[in-house]
Each structure stands twice: as C-alpha cells, then as structure tokens.
Amino acid sequence: MDSSANGPEQVSRRDALQRLAIFLGGTLAASTVAGAMAEDAFAWTLAEGPRDRGAGQWMPRTLTPEQLALVTALVEHVIPRTDTPGARDAGVHRFVDALLTDHYRAPERTRFLAGLRGVDVRALRKHKKNFLATTRAQQVAILTTMDTEAYPAQGMVAKQEKKEQPPPRDAVVGPGSGGSGSLAQPTAADVDGATEDVRTEIASGWFWRRLKEITLVGYYTSQPGATQELRVNPMGIWKGDMPYRPGNRAWA
Amino acid sequence: MFIHAKADDYDAIVIGSGISGGWAAKELTEKGLRVLIVERGRDVVHGKDYITEHKSNWEFPLHNRRINPDVQGAEEYPVQARTGQFREANKHFFAKDTKYPYVEEKPFTWIQGDQVGGKSLIWGRQVYRWSDLDFEANLRDGVAVDWPIRYADIAPWYSYVEKHIGVSGEKLGLPQLPDGEFLPPMEMNAAEKFVKRGVEKKFTGRHMTIGRVAILTQDHNGRAACHYCGPCERGCSTGSYFSSQSSTLPAARKTGRLTILPDSIVHSVLYDDARNRVTGVRVIDANTKEEREYRARVVFVNASTLGTAQILLNSKSARFPNGLANSSGTLGHHLMDHHFQAGARGDVPGLKDHYYQGNRPNGIYVPRFRNLGDEKSKQSDYIRGFGYQGGGSRAGWGRGGTEPGFGVQLKRRLREPGDWSFAINGFAECLPRAENMVTVSDRTDDYGIPILRIDCSWGPNELAMRKDMAASAAEMLEAAGVKNVATFDNHKPGGLGAEPGLGIHEMGTARMGRDPKTSVLNGYNQAHDVPNLFVTDGSAMTSSSCVNPSITYMALTARACDYAVREMKAGTI
C-alpha cells in the first residue's frame, strides 16, 4: 500500500486489490473488486465513495458528491489506513469540507476547487478518464507527478507560499472592514475542464501542497490520528530532557 | 439618562481589571479602602468560564484552527487575528475590533482584552525586572525625559509582587537583569542545552537561561503547581499562572471591600474644577448604552496603555480642554512598543536519542548584551539593546507538509519525531519619540465615544538595531554548532509583519517624569496636575527597556497604592 505502487515488494494483482479495499476503508463491494480486476481499472464508484454518505446525518456543505469522493480518495492517498486508521477513517474529508465552508474565504475556496478539478483534468489528459476511474497505479503516478512538481527543491516551498499570500492590510479597522464570506463557485469548465484558473492551478503546485497540509492537520489533530497513530503528550509533568528510542511514537 | 450613585460610595475607583487594575484593587482593599472596579468587558469567573480549557483539538469544529485575518471568523477581529495566536480555542478572550475600533494612521496592531481579567488571561507571562540600565537610560542618552525613579525605589516592590504571584526562573547575577524571588526554574530541552553550552563557551558576557515566568513550578499561596497542559491562554482553573482571576482579585475579594462592575465602559473621568480633584467616572453600559456615574475619593486608571490614553484624552474640562491632567501637552505622546520578529533559526544536529514530555509554556531567554555602559558592548549605530526569546523543539507531523512524499512512507516517517531545530527572536527597546502619538478622532464608536487615532512607526534607531538582532542571532547559533542558520526580519515598512503594537507591550502616552511641564505623572504615578488621579498601567512608562514590562506595572501599582493610601490618611488627597 505504499504510494509508490511499483516498489520492491511484488504482490499479485488480487492481493493488491484486496489491500486496496482495506486502503479504501474496507467497504468496497466484492463486485467492485471483481469489476476492477476484470477491467484492469480501479473503479471506485461514487455511490460507494465516502462511507458517510447515506450512513449518517453528515452531508457536505460545499463539496458536490463528486468532489467529495475525489477529496476522500486524495486524503486517503496522503495518509492511508495501515495498522492504524487512515485519513478517511479519521473523517479528514469532512474536515476539508468544513474548512472550505467555514474557514476559507471565497478566493481561496475557488482556488482549491479549481485545483481539485485540475486533478481530474490531469487524469483526463493522460487516460481520458476522471481520476477516480483510473487504476490505483495510474492515480499514484498522477499524484507522484503532482508531488514532484509541487516540491521542486528543498527550501523553495516556503518562499513560494510567502509570495503567494501577501498579508492583508486595513487602513481603518471597524465595522465593514472584514472580508467576504460569500460562497463562490469555480468558473465553468470547458471540454476537458481546463479553464484558465484550473490551468493556473495545475501549474502552481499550490493545490497539492495545501491538500497535503490540511490532510496532515485534519488527521493528526483528529482523535484517531492523535491517539492511535501518535501519542497525546500527557499533562501533569514537564521532563525537559528524556531518552528517546527509535520506534517510539511522536507526540501529536 | 444619568443615574447618580451616592457621592463617595467608594473610596477608590479602579478603571480596568487586568494586570495592573487587579493589583490596584488588591492593594487598596487590603489597606482598608472600599474599591469599585469598573470593567468594560464581560465577567469571566475563574474556572467556570474557561470554556475551552483542556479540550482536545478534535473537539473544535475546525480542530482549533488558527484564525488569520484572511479567513472566515476574522470579520469582527481583523486586528486581533494579526497576532498569529488568535484561534478557535481562545478567541473569546480577545476584544472585537468592531466594538472598539480605532484609526490606524500607520500600521499599528492594538491587541485588546474585553473581560474581567483583561489581557492577564492571555498574556505571555514572561517577567523580568528592569534595572538602572533602563531607569537611567533617558538621562544618559539625552532622550525624552528622565525617569523620576531608580531601581532602588522599585526593587522592594518587585520582591513584594514576585512573592505574591510566584515567578519561576534562574538567578544569573547580572546587573542588567536583576534576580528576583524565584521558584525553581523549568528545565531546558536537549537542543536548548546544546545551544546554551555553545553560546556561553564562545561569547563571554552572553548567557542563555530558561524564561523567567509567572508560572508556578511548585504549589504557591494556595495555588497549584503547573500541570503543563500547554495553552495557558485558555484560562487555568488551577491558577497555576498569574492572572487577575487566579491571584489579585481573590485577594481583593477576601477583604469584603471589593465591588466589580463588568460591562461598564468608562467614557471619561469626572473632574471638579473648583476643587481640582477627580470625583469619579462616567460609564456607558455595554449592553443598554445607558449612562451612569460613580464617585470616589481617588481614581486609578488601569485601562491598558491605549485604553487609558483614550479615557484621559476624552476627559475634557474647562481647565483641561485637551485631556485630563494634560497641562504639559505630553498626554498621548511617546507611544512605544517592543519591536521583535527579527532573529534567526536553524537545525540542531544529532540529539536523536533525546525527547521531552509535557507542554512547557515557556522558552529560553538571552539577556541583553549590547550597550551595557562599557566600551566592549557599545554599538556605533544604535543606542539601547535587545534580548532574545526562543527555544528548541523536535519537528512534529507538521513537517510533512513542507516535504515531498505521501502515502504509507510519509505516514511511517511522521510517526516518529523529526530533527531538532532552534530559533531565537529579538525583543528590543524602542525609543520614546513625541511623534509616535495617539489623539482622539472625530469618529465615535457604537457607544458614542470618540475613538483613538494611532500614529506610530519605528525610527532609525529601531531599524538599525534590527539588523544586529538578526545578525547577532545568526552569529550565536552558528558559533554554537547550529546548521542551516537563516536570519529573519519580518518588518515591512508601511506594512504588517513586525509593526508597532504587535509586541503587545505598548507603553507610554502618560509618562512619569520629574517636571510637570514635560510629563503627566510624578514618581508615584500620581498626576502632576490632579492629586487624586493615579495611572499605573503601561501608559506611565517613560522609556521601554527591552524586557517584558508587565511585572514593572505590577510593582509600580503596588508602590503607588502604598503612597496613595498614606496620602489619603494624611488628608492631602
């Protein structure tokens, strides 16, 4: 289940798909696995996407069902389920929808959704399929490309982020000086979804860095991430300098 | 409609319940006075109203996300959100900028509390004594006016305050940073010990110590030792750090002579021209906007530096058309703040077999080593100096967002702590300059109170010093063996990043001095012009030192209260 699908560890296709089912939260129907095997494709249908849909009261407030399915797949690619819960188990897709709805203002939200569309555009250009319709290996290849492009060289990222986000400045503060919280939808996509903002987003690397960042935040500040994957730093005592042994989990 | 309370219902009115107001209430009530605290913000009950204390991140809708000015949730807090410390878990202890607007002539970030306890609930808790290097600075440099006091005047009051609030720290025996009455110091972590060893070996006269902090390392005066949960600013029900709620207000309440009036915004101080005395305060009810008046024999103004300036400037009378006790014309001038956000960071090699446990709400401190009065430390391009605050830590999961990679390998990597890093950030003295000033504007807030116009910027001395703050930080880290050292200076002329106010150490505007013609207050924080008016918060400061100022406000307040009560008993006020 590594992000590099063609790692040294060779596994059979069936094994891979079974492990893939685990990777996706263990809820893939057998028919889906069979279909995927038959079509040599990773067919994670929308209806079987994020397992919250229909199961509980929670519904996305900004993401469409298609976008939610894509976000859920992406965050699980970043932090997959292993011997501990993954991003999907931890509800990181919900966290992303909450950020888009209650945290980002319109320009940032629009930019994020354009970047999300860009993931499908990449898949369409390369495989003539939406991202979710491609195989796992194809998905990993696309994300690996995005990751490489987004992190061109160590130390570059901070500089880029800084340039992209000049600090705001209000001459007079008081009523009315706050920003807009109104919802904005991305501009309509053309045939392959590549409107100018999407093309810009594909080129910038911002979306992937942001997606990774909020996946890590959402995961490691969740209860499963903080208490099962890592450890909550207990209160009660301060030990400034204590031994650390490799393998001990970090404080969340 | 005016509701007149009975004349002299109280012996003293204290405006504000924050760090200095709480101390005024404690001292005055313990000396037998009936005290009314008038607080503009809501009541905050110790313990009960610390609504986010010990909550886990996942209990917040956005996992306790930081709220910067450019995201939702900052609409009513566009200035408060600039601190980088404004988040879901603590936003209820910051004032709404929409409620208390001001005109920002140049970038100035005014961080405000709006509750009983004021900013004492959310302060940084670092406490350092000032020294004669500070109290003699203006005289020595020929800058502004001389302080009317010296270290010997305030030293016993520092001790008095420290014994009550509890301060943990390490004695160093340095003249520029006098030792105090310390509880045991907190331990440094491995990276901090590493850098400390390196710096002290390579530079004679430079020291690194653990922060001196108003946090208990052992039980003290009925308050429990710190349990190292981390985010003090959510409130501490065990009272393990100093706040008005944990320390001064309980002592004042114990006397039975304290009344606290929350939700009551002081519009102005009432003044009787015929007797040349202040007689009380005019208050606007924060909820009903009804006007009320309260009267007392003496008034202490502790509304925070800029809050105090605003009240005094808005207290106009025939004798004082430009603000109460302002015959000198200096009221509102010489605004200061510590400038910071210039320093260096780098990676600490090795130490992979070291870690820590608990959340220490404290860092390290490097005392001032520039312009100490000798030739060796004298700088050619600036006067005064700076100290460093900072610390070391092992990288956590957040590093994953800055590195390539995803999937199982990333998850596996982030399961263990990363490399050590270390950073220091200068906290630096700012010169008192007349052109850094506040006035009242034509605009009023929702309560009809004229709002402040703040016009303040760093001068050539500050800007020259910042270069050294960054360069010296890098020099020290490199000498200590820190790798990949990078300097930073976040100041952007005319912009945000390290603008005045961001240090939240705003001082001046009603300075102490020896001459009534050039200062507002005398050596006992008593208005030169009006004998029963005292100002003992940051607005009284004549210069800014480079060390955190709050404990000096506390000591000056206790000292002023002692003087005021003696004068009241003597019948002079």
Q: Does B5 touch chain A (CB under 8 A)?
A: no
Does the structure show a pLDDT above 90 at A43?
no
Q: Locate tokens 């404080």: which residue?
A: A251
Convert the pLDDT of each residue in A149-183 to its tens digit. Answer: 999 875 554 544 444 443 333 333 333 333 332 32
pLDDT confidence bin for A118, thresholds 50/70/90 = very high
Convert the pLDDT of each residue in B186-202 to its tens digit. Answer: 999 999 999 999 999 99
Q: Does B447 touch chain A (CB under 8 A)?
A: no
Burial of A241 (0-12, 13-18, 19+ CB in 10 A): middle
CA distance to A67, B277, B306, B315, per residue, from B438 (Å): 51, 25, 8, 15
Question: For the residues A220-227, what does the mean pLDDT come to?
Answer: 98
Q: How far is CA B23 from the centre of its chain?
A: 14
Query: Could you tell me which of B129, B112, B128, B108 has the C-alpha nearest to residue B120?
Result: B112
State ipTM: 0.94
pLDDT given at position B9: 83
pLDDT given at position B1: 38
Does the structure show a pLDDT above 60 at A185?
no
Residue contact B358–A239, C-beta within 8 A: yes
pLDDT given at position A192: 58
* Residue from the list B79, B97, B356 with its beta carbon closest to the beta carbon of A240: B356
Q: Which residues lie below 8 Å from residue B15, measured CB to CB, with a gap of 6+?
A: B21, B37, B38, B266, B269, B281, B299, B300, B301, B302, B303, B308, B311
The amino acid at residue B182 is F
pLDDT given at position A173: 33
- What is the pLDDT of chain A when averaged over all its residues? 74
* Residue from the list B54, B358, B404 with its beta carbon closest to the beta carbon of A237: B358
Residue contact A250–B354, C-beta within 8 A: no
pLDDT given at position A196: 82
Question: For the residues A17-38, what does the mean pLDDT come to?
Answer: 34
* Residues in a beta bridge with B87: B66
* Residue from the list B187, B400, B492 with its beta carbon closest to the beta carbon of A212: B400
Q: With contact defined as beta carbons under 8 Å apart, do B466 and B387 qualify? A: no
CA distance to B91, B214, B476, B497, B536, per residue, from B52 (Å): 10, 21, 39, 29, 31
Query: Could you tell me which of B209, B163, B141, B33 has the C-alpha nearest to residue B385?
Result: B141
What is the SS3 assignment for B268-285?
Answer: EEEEECCCCEEEEEEEEE
Does the structure show a pLDDT above 70 at A200?
yes
Residue contact B227–A220, C-beta within 8 A: no
Say which residue, A10 or A126, is predicted with more confidence. Answer: A126
Least Cα separation, residue B368 to chain A (angstroms) = 25
In chain A, what is the straight-line distance between the N-terminal and C-terminal CA atoms, in Å? 24
How far is it, in rounded angstroms, from Cα A115 to Cα B247? 52
Q: How far is CA B352 from the centre of its chain?
A: 37
Question: For the residues A42-63, what does the mean pLDDT come to?
Answer: 59
pLDDT given at position B201: 97
Residue B274, Cβ neighbours under 10 Å: how many? Answer: 5
Please report how the helices B550-570 and B151-165 are oriented relative to each other, as an axis angle in degrees rounded to 10.
100
Longest dimension (CA), chain A: 65
Residue contact A250–B230, C-beta within 8 A: no
Say which residue, A199 or B538, is predicted with more confidence. Answer: B538
pLDDT given at position A182: 30
Residue A148 has φ and ψ, to the nearest 5°, of -65, -40
pLDDT confidence bin for A202, thresholds 50/70/90 = confident
Instruction: Pick from B406, B489, B490 the residue to mutate for testing the A interface (most A CBs within 10 Å).
Output: B406
Does the structure show a pLDDT above 50 at A215?
yes
Convert the pLDDT of each residue in B107-124 to its tens digit. Answer: 999 999 999 999 999 999
Name chain A contacts of B107, Cβ cutoff 8 Å: 169
Query: Could you tell me which of A143, A147, A131, A140 has the C-alpha nearest to residue A5?
Result: A140
pLDDT given at position A184: 33
B14, two tokens: 């204290």
Instruction: Pick from B83, B237, B357, B444 the residue to mutate for testing the A interface (most A CBs within 10 Å).
Output: B357
Residues 531-570 (B) with a CB less than 8 A from some CB of A: none
Q: Does B477 touch chain A (CB under 8 A)?
A: no
Name chain A contacts of B400, Cβ cutoff 8 Å: 212, 216
Which positions of chain B have pLDDT values less than 70?
1-8
